[in-house]
Amino acid sequence: MNIQPAGHSVRVPSGTRITDAARQAGMPLASSCASHGLCARCGVLILSGAAAVSSETPREARAKRANRIDPAQRLSCLTTIRGDVEISTPYW
């Protein structure tokens, strides 16, 4: 996974949550629900490799709507990596 604009990169096994991969790379992600998919503060933008992440679940869609998160963002605590992906957030 590549993290922009920091330019950090980390290799993780398939099935790793974006949250865990970002933290492994030393990049903090906002969260106030301990990564349980409730607060939706961990939204990330998939810059490339959208096909290499898990599909959005109804749970993720509900959390984004309830917290007024941009539909284009993915919740990093509920999204897993299956291949090469590049992400960013509005606050990095």
- Domains located in the chain, CATH noted: 2-88 (3.10.20.30)
What whole-number distance in Å separates Cα of residue 67 and Cα of residue 61? 10
pLDDT in tens, 35-87: 888 888 999 999 999 999 999 999 999 999 999 999 999 999 999 999 999 99
Q: Residue 23: is it exposed, middle or buried by C-beta count within 10 angstroms (0-12/13-18/19+)?
A: middle
pTM greater than 0.85: yes
